[in-house]
Structure 1
Amino acid sequence: MFARILTASAALALALPAIAADDEAKPKPTAPAKDYQANRASKVMTGTFGGRTMRYTATVEEQVLKDDQGTPKAAIVTSAYVAEPRDPSRPVTFLFNGGPGSGSVWLQMGAFGPKRVAIPSDARDDGAPPYPILDNPDSLLDVTDLVFIDPVGTGFSHTIGDTKGEDYWGVTQDAKSVAQVIRQWIDANGRWNSPKYLGGESYGTTRSAAVVNELEGGYNDVALNGVILISTILDFGAGAETEGAELGYITTLPTMAATALYHGKASAPSVEAFVEEARQFAIGPYAAYLLKGQNAPADERAAVRRELARFTGLSEAFLDRADLRVSSGRFYKELLRDRALTVGRLDSRYTGTDYDAAGETPDNDPSFYGIDAGYTAAINAWMRDSIGYKTDRRYVTIGGVGDWDWRLRGGRDTNAYLTVAPYLGRAMRENSGMRIFVGQGWYDFATPFFAAEYSLTRTGFPQDRIEYKYYDAGHMMYVRDEDRRKLSADLRAFIRAR
């Protein structure tokens, strides 16, 4: 499904193709753009987070973006949770998901919001409603106020008047609009001197880097204390699976090893030990072999094939037919073919059953259809019923944007090899107080952990200010109860350490 370098590696917070929102999801405004009135709902609530019982105000509101003439162009919805009484020196964290085209429902209702939806923690399907919507003691509200952002075309966010969604659908365009929302929010809430954190998941990490460039790349800075990267994709060449590209096979191999071990197709004392072996094999003998191409001698090929079989759980015969280069799609189908099962892309702990067991790639991703219904029900119930946000729009969880503009604007031309990682490196070099948190799941093929490590160990990154944490789940590690608690604890410590 995602064979092309950009639309594939990118994608991909939730592994669905980007499709334009339909007319039902985008009702036409009844008043001229100049008369647009922002929608808003707010409620004071109480909860216990990190062991601390506290009052907070939940506010869902449209942040209206205007052009230079003051004409409203777009309404971006934020969901803010602010501790009471308000403290202008308290940290505030701005969060979003990815896609591109994904609403913030996943981080909000799965990980850090004051409520969460309870879905199976052991890689089983979420089934049918009703889904329990529970208090979330793992919310970060005890250490930071939270502002979740739904970019244009996601959640309830939309354009106004005759503005086109395409004006906001691109790496740079999207980052500019999100940066504008952040500036407007801190203006309206008196938070210019608050410690500030920015956090994203999947393409949301790409967005984070681009937004950092918009906030800190000029003279009118909004300086950040930290950037939270969850399931990281910064360098799209690092994971590209296109004909002639070799690096993606290297960066994906440790994830294959973790998956093979999980499903009993490999043997090792621990996943940590096994993936470290796989890392060293990938950047050593395997990388050397791939770089030689057809000039590699037969004995080297045989030695690499044996080790590759040990790490991937695939037969040497299959690896030979694949020329020792196994795409992720083929791996999902081949690993458990003897059991007539496929493994997930977002989380390879999940298994699925296809129409038949003879195909080359899976029919669908069991780790996405295993969770989507519960999250959709939860965000609508929470925002509409609990907070009282009234709208006739449909909440777009994923897929609400059209063709994405992958070009980077300004600076050196990196369009042919898209990487936003240098934005973060520069920001760290120019802001000695900024740190980076990197959270990765062992079983994530959408944004493999080794590709994230590759991106952030290039020249120009102060390594002593980058912190890596790993989890025994996949792309959305917080669907596993133990890892949600661990992620929450890790981020509390990260924020408190400023």
Structure 2
Amino acid sequence: MKKSTFTIIFVLLSFLALAQEKEMKKEIPQAETFTSTQTVSIKGKTVTLATATGTHLLRDENDKPIALFGFTHYRKTNSSENRPIVFAFNGGPLSASFWLHFGVLGPKRIEINDPSYTKPSPYKVVNNEYSILDKADLVMIDPVGVGFSKPIGEAKWEDFWGVDQDIRSIGLFIEQFIIKANKMNSPKYLLGESYGTFRNAGLVKHLQDKGIAMNGVIMVSAVFDLQHLLFGPGDDTAYLIHFPTYAATAWYHNKVKNKGSSLEAFLNDVRTFTQNEYAPALLKGDQLSTSEKSSIAQKLADYSGLSQDYYLKADLRVTNGEYFQELLRNEGETVGRLDSRFTGINEDLLSQNALTDPQSDAISTPYIAAFKDYLYNDLKVRKDLTYTTTASSRKGFKWDWKHKGNISWNMQVATTTLPDMTSAMKRNPNLKILILNGYYDLATVFYGVEHSINHMGLDAELKKNIIMKYYEAGHMMYTHIPSMAKFKMDVDAFIDETSK
């Protein structure tokens, strides 16, 4: 072969290699952020915020690009680098962070007709005097699959859709973000709602193991043991831990015979009954005598607002879906799962289970519409970018529930991140946890949180690092103005205490 032929082949191969390299570079889209200046007035003082929203080019442990990771960052102008910073997200999985963002944390919030249906647009968006932005900078996080977040390069959706995958990717984002923002030496916090608390319990240990210790973790409507939400065959735990919230719901809707001096006093009686009478009765199974069963069914009825006959037919075990449907069936209504103060029209009076959640129906549309208006107009995001509110709308969405430490004999024996949080606290006894519970939350029930904490095996002194607060509202307690004000007070005090 002639020399000129070799030269031609070499040039062609070089050209192909360059073309391939160029094509690979084209496959990695660039992160894009949009900046604006926002303000919020809190306690008579105006806070000016340098705001950035968009995506961060997320890298894996070998600095290979794997995702465009969505966020909104509010930074107080002319502030110290040591100002606290809060990383916040919602749950799902997998939901975008607009609920917390536009409900209680950001500089603006939507007004909701709590606890009823909000009229169609125009919606009222107001200054959020309950924001935490006077205390800390804020980063609202949208995990891969929601917001503007998506995998890039060789990464795939399933690399991010799972308990451990999710913890890893959010851990990477937080580490890279605090380095970029010069926040490594600032007081740092995680704030999650619902599944976001389950994530938090694993994430706090994950970050701590990487040398990033949190000053505190804020749990909004928490769940750490997912079996608490599942009414599994042969497992009575979910029936027990849901019952106090059934009772709270009946108390609110005036379906109990004796409301007592207060909701708290009433629920203390319910807790005592649940632990000392209801649990032993279920433990007996079919060894419970007819008279014992009848007596327990009557007490369940007195506390929950359902009938003794209903509880007997249910073998003393009523699921949450059955409770939503049964409590106000005679009035033609069903009660909310996320917030049982909300009621809606019962679509099928013969149905055993509720067909819809009135709270979700009442607030979802106004939250989504008003937030997107704020996102594209106030935060100046390009209007040809789609903001995805939930990953369930994506084709093929499936969550991997396996978690390291939950496997025994090659089987999933639990789905819990509670051991992670326990380990993080024992290895860092300065770590504080603030847990905010809604009494009327039938999605993540308060007695389930109490059960989890009482089974962490913490000594009395370390257990004091877990601070429990309660609200007369539901899963998103911040739709209730008095609870939103208390939310602000509780979170402020927690940041003040732990950032010194």
CA distance in 1, matches of 2:347, 2:443: 23
Query: 1:35, CA displacement in angstroms?
Result: 4.4
Instruction: From 390, 406, 422, give the equivalent of 1:425.
Output: 422
Q: For this pair of structures, how many residues does the alignment match?
A: 466
State the one-letter code of the partner of 1:242: G
Instruction: From 129, 137, 145, give the equivalent of 1:145.
Output: 137
Instruction: From 366, 379, 389, give the equivalent of 1:387.
Output: 379
Cα separation, partners in 2 of 1:101 and 1:465, compared to 1, 3 Å: same
Cα separation, partners in 2 of 1:49 and 1:134, compared to 1, 3 Å: same
Does residue 84 of the first structure (1) align with residue 77 of the second (2)?
yes
Instruction: From 405, 427, 433, give the equivalent of 2:400.
Output: 405
The answer to whether the 8 Å contact 1:56/1:81 transfers is yes
Query: 1:68, CA displacement in angstroms?
Result: 5.5
Query: 1:79, CA displacement in angstroms?
Result: 0.6
- What secondary structure does 1:497 align onto? helix
CA distance in 2, matches of 1:68, 1:426: 24
Residue matched to 2:332:
340
CA distance in 1, matches of 2:29, 2:299: 63
Does residue 315 of the first structure (1) align with residue 307 of the second (2)?
yes
Query: 1:283, CA displacement in angstroms?
Result: 1.1
CA distance in 2, matches of 1:396, 1:451: 31
CA distance in 2, matches of 1:209, 1:301: 38
Residue matched to 2:3:
none
Cα separation, partners in 2 of 1:458 and 1:53, compared to 1, 3 Å: same
State the one-letter code of the partner of 1:227: V
Bigger mean CA offset, 331-340 vs 157-166: 157-166
Residue matched to 1:45:
38
Query: Structure 2 regions of 5+ residues with no counterpart?
Result: 1-22
State the one-letter code of the partner of 1:449: F
TM-score by length of 1: 0.90
Which one has the largest radius of gyration? Answer: 2
State the one-letter code of the partner of 1:84: T
Query: 1:276, CA displacement in angstroms?
Result: 1.2
Does residue 185 of the first structure (1) align with residue 182 of the second (2)?
no
State the one-letter code of the partner of 2:236: E
Query: 1:239, CA displacement in angstroms?
Result: 3.2
CA distance in 1, matches of 2:299, 2:308: 9
CA distance in 1, matches of 2:406, 2:229: 24
CA distance in 2, matches of 1:430, 1:101: 30
CA distance in 2, matches of 1:87, 1:403: 42
Does residue 103 of the first structure (1) align with residue 93 of the second (2)?
no
The answer to whether the 8 Å contact 2:40/2:108 transfers is no
Residue matched to 1:236:
226
Instruction: From 156, 163, 174, give the equivalent of 2:166.
Output: 174
* CA deviation map 1:26-64 (0-9, x unaligned): xxxx98455421110111233212443221111103111
The answer to whether the 8 Å contact 1:239/1:247 transfers is no
State the one-letter code of the partner of 2:495: I
Cα separation, partners in 2 of 1:293 and 1:186, compared to 1, 3 Å: same
Structure with higher helix content:
2
Bigger mean CA offset, 74-83 vs 460-469: 460-469
Does residue 54 of the first structure (1) align with residue 51 of the second (2)?
no
CA distance in 2, matches of 1:186, 1:226: 16
The answer to whether the 8 Å contact 2:249/2:440 transfers is yes
Residue matched to 1:450:
447
Instruction: From 436, 442, 447, give the equivalent of 2:433.
Output: 436
CA distance in 2, matches of 1:202, 1:459: 19
Residue matched to 2:106:
113
- What secondary structure does 1:81 align onto? strand
- What secondary structure does 1:238 align onto? helix
CA distance in 2, matches of 1:75, 1:170: 18
Summarize the alignment of residues 5-20 of structure 1 with structure 2, pairs less than 5 Å apart. Answer: none
State the one-letter code of the partner of 1:442: Y
The answer to whether the 8 Å contact 2:28/2:153 transfers is no
CA distance in 2, matches of 1:82, 1:137: 17
CA distance in 1, matches of 2:98, 2:447: 27
The answer to whether the 8 Å contact 1:239/1:251 transfers is no
Root mean square deviation, CA, Å: 1.7
Does residue 460 of the first structure (1) align with residue 450 of the second (2)?
no
Cα separation, partners in 2 of 1:33 and 1:255, compared to 1, 3 Å: farther
- What secondary structure does 1:232 align onto? coil
Instruction: From 312, 319, 331, give the equivalent of 1:327.
Output: 319
* CA deviation map 1:208-232 (0-9, x unaligned): 112112201x2x3101010101111
The answer to whether the 8 Å contact 2:84/2:136 transfers is yes
Residue matched to 1:478:
478
Query: 1:392, CA displacement in angstroms?
Result: 2.3
- % identical aligned pairs: 38
TM-score by length of 2: 0.90
The answer to whether the 8 Å contact 2:28/2:152 transfers is no
CA distance in 2, matches of 1:130, 1:33: 42
Query: 1:361, CA displacement in angstroms?
Result: 1.1
Query: Structure 1 regions of 5+ residues with no counterpart?
Result: 1-29
